[in-house]
Amino acid sequence: MTVLSVDDPEERFTGLYDRHYRNVLGYALLRAEPAMAEDLTSETFLVAWRRLDDLPDPPLPWLLGVTRNLLRNQRVRRLRSDELVARLAALSTFAEGDVAERVANRQEALAVLAGLREQDVEAVVLASWYGLTPEEAAQVAGCSARTYNVRLHRARRRLADALRPAPPFTFFQEQA
Amino acid sequence: MNENDAVNELIATLRPDALTEDAYRRRRSADLARAIDSPRTRHNPRRSAMSQRRPLLLIAGTAAAGLAAAVIVVPHLSSGNSPRPDSSGRLAIGTSTPKTTASSTGVRTVNVRTVLLAAATVAAKEPVDAGRFWYSRVHTSQLVRVAPKEYMTKIRALIAEQEARTKELKGRPAELKAYTKDWNKRVTELKMARLPYIATRAETTETWRSLKHGTGREVRDQDVRIAFATPEDEAKWKRAGSPTLSGDDRPRTKEGAPEGIVSIDNPSLTWSNVSKLPTDKEGLKARLKSLYAQSPDKGKGLAAYMSATGWDLLTAPITPGTRAALYQVLADTASGLTSHAGVADGLGRTGVSLETTGPDDYDRPGRITYRLIFDDRTAKVLELDVIEAGTSTPLLRQTFETTGYVDKPGDLPQR
- Report if residue A1 sits inside a domain: no
Instruction: Report the pLDDT value the prediction gives residue B200, as an integer from 0 to 100.
Output: 92
Instruction: Report the pLDDT value the prediction gives residue B65, as an integer from 0 to 100.
Output: 26
Which residues are paired to B350 by β-bridges? B344
Q: By the CB < 8 Å criterion, does A25 face chain B?
A: yes
Q: By the CB < 8 Å criterion, does B211 face chain A?
A: no
Regarding whether A144 and A86 lie in a shared domain, the answer is yes
Measured CA to CA, the distance from residue B2 to residue B70 in angstroms comes to 65
- Report if residue A105 sits inside a domain: yes
Measured CA to CA, the distance from residue B288 to residue B283 in angstroms comes to 9
Write the residue in B15, B43, B117 that is nearest to A26 by C-beta: B15
- Residue A46 with chain B: CB contacts under 8 Å: 34-35, 38
Regarding whether A47 and A87 lie in a shared domain, the answer is no
- Report if residue A171 sits inside a domain: no
Q: By the CB < 8 Å criterion, does B11 face chain A?
A: yes
Chain A segment 48-67 residues within 8 A of B by beta carbon are 48-53
Which residues are paired to B138 by β-bridges? B205, B400
Regarding whether A85 and A60 lie in a shared domain, the answer is no
- Give the count of domains, chain A: 2
Quick one: DSSP state of residue A95?
P
Q: Which range marks the domain in which residue A102 is found?
A: 81-166
Mutation to test the B interface, candidates A2, A3, A42, A51, most B Cβ within 10 Å: A3
Asked if A21's CB is within 8 angstroms of B27's CB, the reply is: yes
Where in chain B are the domains? Answer: 65-74+97-144+260-406, 150-192
Which pLDDT tens digit goes with each residue over A136-146? Answer: 898 888 888 89
Asked if B6's CB is within 8 angstroms of A160's CB, the reply is: yes
- ipTM tops 0.85: no
Write the residue in B32, B43, B325 that is nearest to A17 by C-beta: B32
Instruction: Report the pLDDT value the prediction gives residue A96, as an integer from 0 to 100.
Output: 41
Q: How far is B317 from chain A (nearest CA, A)?
A: 18
Regarding whether A103 and A41 lie in a shared domain, the answer is no
Task: Burial-class residue B44 by CB neighbours within 10 Å (0-12, 13-18, 19+).
Answer: middle
The closest of B267, B277, B272 to B257, measured between CA atoms, is B272
- Residue B13 with chain A: CB contacts under 8 Å: 92, 94-95, 98, 102, 106
Asked if B124's CB is within 8 angstroms of A2's CB, the reply is: yes
- Residue B7 with chain A: CB contacts under 8 Å: 109, 124, 128, 155-156, 159-160, 163
Q: By the CB < 8 Å criterion, does B378 face chain A?
A: no
Q: By the CB < 8 Å criterion, does A26 face chain B?
A: yes
Q: By the CB < 8 Å criterion, does B35 face chain A?
A: yes
Regarding whether A41 and A68 lie in a shared domain, the answer is yes
Asked if B12's CB is within 8 angstroms of A109's CB, the reply is: no
Measured CA to CA, the distance from residue B178 to residue B139 in angstroms comes to 43
Instruction: Report the pLDDT value the prediction gives residue B62, as an integer from 0 to 100.
Output: 24
Asked if B47's CB is within 8 angstroms of A159's CB, the reply is: no
- Residue A11 with chain B: CB contacts under 8 Å: 121
Chain B segment 41-60 residues within 8 A of A by beta carbon are 41-44, 47
Write the residue in B11, B43, B117 that is nearest to A128 by C-beta: B11
Last residue of a domain, one of A73, A94, A129: A73
Instruction: Report the pLDDT value the prediction gives residue A165, as an integer from 0 to 100.
Output: 59
Instruction: Report the pLDDT value the prediction gives residue A114, as an integer from 0 to 100.
Output: 75
Q: Check if the beta carbon of residue B308 is closer than 8 Å to that of residue B384.
A: no
The closest of B380, B375, B383, B376 to B399, measured between CA atoms, is B383
Task: Burial-class residue B76 by CB neighbours within 10 Å (0-12, 13-18, 19+).
Answer: exposed
Measured CA to CA, the distance from residue B383 to residue B398 in angstroms comes to 5
Question: How far out from the chain centre does Cα B95 lie?
Answer: 15
Asked if A53's CB is within 8 angstroms of B42's CB, the reply is: yes
Q: Check if the beta carbon of residue A46 is closer than 8 Å to that of residue A38.
A: no
Q: Check if the beta carbon of residue B400 is closer than 8 Å to that of residue B136.
A: yes
Instruction: Report the pLDDT value the prediction gives residue B400, as an integer from 0 to 100.
Output: 95
Q: Check if the beta carbon of residue B401 is closer than 8 Å to that of residue B141.
A: no
Question: How far out from the chain centre does Cα B178 lie?
Answer: 39
- Residue B43 with chain A: CB contacts under 8 Å: 53
Write the residue in B4, B15, B28 that is nearest to A17 by C-beta: B28
Instruction: Report the pLDDT value the prediction gives residue B78, as an integer from 0 to 100.
Output: 23
Between the alpha carbon of residue B8 and those of residues A125, B17, B340, the distances in Å are 8, 16, 41
- Report if residue A3 sits inside a domain: no
Q: Check if the beta carbon of residue B131 is closer than 8 Å to that of residue A14.
A: no
Secondary structure of residue B317 in the 3-state scheme: coil
Q: By the CB < 8 Å criterion, does A4 face chain B?
A: yes
Secondary structure of residue B253 in the 3-state scheme: strand
What is the interface size between A and B, counted as CB pairs within 8 Å? 153
Quick one: DSSP state of residue A167?
P
Instruction: Report the pLDDT value the prediction gives residue A80, as an integer from 0 to 100.
Output: 64
Q: Please give the span between the terminal C-alpha atoms of chain A, in angstroms, as a whole number.
A: 71
- Residue A102 with chain B: CB contacts under 8 Å: 10, 13
Regarding whether A93 and A45 lie in a shared domain, the answer is no
- In this structure, which amino acid lies at residue B268? S
Chain B segment 312-371 residues within 8 A of A by beta carbon are 321, 324-325, 328
Q: Check if the beta carbon of residue B130 is closer than 8 Å to that of residue B136.
A: no
- Residue B21 with chain A: CB contacts under 8 Å: 22
Measured CA to CA, the distance from residue A130 to residue A71 in angstroms comes to 19
- Report if residue A32 sits inside a domain: yes
Q: By the CB < 8 Å criterion, does A127 face chain B?
A: yes
Q: What is the CATH number of the domain that holds A160?
A: 1.10.10.10
Residues of chain A short of pLDDT 70, as ranges, are 1-7, 74-82, 84, 90-106, 163-176
Orientation of helix A9-28 relative to helix A34-50, angle to 10°? 150
Render each residue's pLDDT in chain B as its tens digit; 415 residues.
Answer: 577 777 777 788 778 887 888 888 888 888 888 787 777 654 333 332 222 222 211 122 222 222 222 222 222 222 222 223 332 222 222 222 233 333 345 788 888 888 898 899 989 988 888 889 999 999 999 888 878 788 778 878 888 888 888 888 888 888 888 888 888 788 777 777 788 999 999 999 999 999 887 789 999 889 999 999 999 999 999 999 999 888 777 888 888 888 777 887 787 888 889 999 999 999 999 999 898 888 766 666 777 788 788 988 999 999 999 999 999 999 988 777 889 988 999 999 999 999 988 777 677 788 888 899 999 889 999 999 988 888 888 888 999 999 999 999 999 998 6
Write the residue in A94, A102, A160 that is nearest to B7 by C-beta: A160
